[in-house]
Structure 1
Amino acid sequence: MNKRDLIRKTAEGTGLSQKDCEAVINALFDTIRKTVESGEKVQIIGFGTFELRERAARTARNPRTGEAVEVPARRVPAFKPGAELKQAVQA
């Protein structure tokens, strides 16, 4: 499912127009992005948590040459599914 499909399904489920649903979904994604970008968690009970994680600097190996390569520390977005979502997927 892509964003366009999500908008269409949301419109069907709510009775709102696709244009209205697109505005709501865009606002939701923007809010989640900005909140995680600032270092805060977005926790949606029953669905999951969006958060920012720190990856430490490390030394990796180039698989072709075997040469050591330094990988710098970085911040990465992460999603941890909630218990209800995990149960729904298991069923």
Structure 2
Amino acid sequence: MNQVELVAAISDRTDISKSDIDSILKTVGAIVQEQLPLGGDIALPGIGKLKTRQSAARTGRNPKTGDVLDIPAKTKAIFVVAKSLKDALQ
């Protein structure tokens, strides 16, 4: 399901206009982009939770040349699926 299909499905079930739903989804995206870098978790009820995780600095290797590379530490976004959704998929 793409964004257009999601907007249409939500609009059909809620009787809220497609433009309002689209605006809400864009606002949710903006809030997620603001909060995740601050270390905040974002709960999506019934779906899961967006979190951040730190990856440690490490050394890697260029597969083409074999050169050793230093890979810096960084913050990654991860998604943890809600138990209810996991159970529904089984």
The size of the alignment, in residue pairs, is: 90
1:1-80 to structure 2, matched below 5 A, reads 1-80=1-80
Provide the C-alpha distance between the structure 2 equivalents of 1:4 and 1:44, rounded to a whole number of angstroms.
20
Query: Given residue 2 of structure 1, which amino acid in structure 2 is its aligned partner?
Result: N
Per the TM alignment, residue 15 of structure 1 is displaced from its structure 2 partner at its CA by 1.3
Per the TM alignment, residue 39 of structure 1 is displaced from its structure 2 partner at its CA by 0.8
CA 1:45/1:17 → structure 2, altered by over 3 Å: closer, same or farther?
A: closer
Q: Stretches of 4+ moved more than 4 A in 1?
A: none
TM-score (normalised: structure 2): 0.88
Per the TM alignment, residue 12 of structure 1 is displaced from its structure 2 partner at its CA by 1.4
Query: Given residue 8 of structure 2, which amino acid in structure 1 is its aligned partner?
Result: R
Per the TM alignment, residue 44 of structure 1 is displaced from its structure 2 partner at its CA by 3.2
Per the TM alignment, residue 66 of structure 1 is displaced from its structure 2 partner at its CA by 1.5
- Please give the secondary structure, in 2, of the residue aligned with 1:53: strand
Identical amino acids, percent of aligned pairs? 29
Provide the C-alpha distance between the structure 2 equivalents of 1:16 and 1:46, rounded to a whole number of angstroms.
21
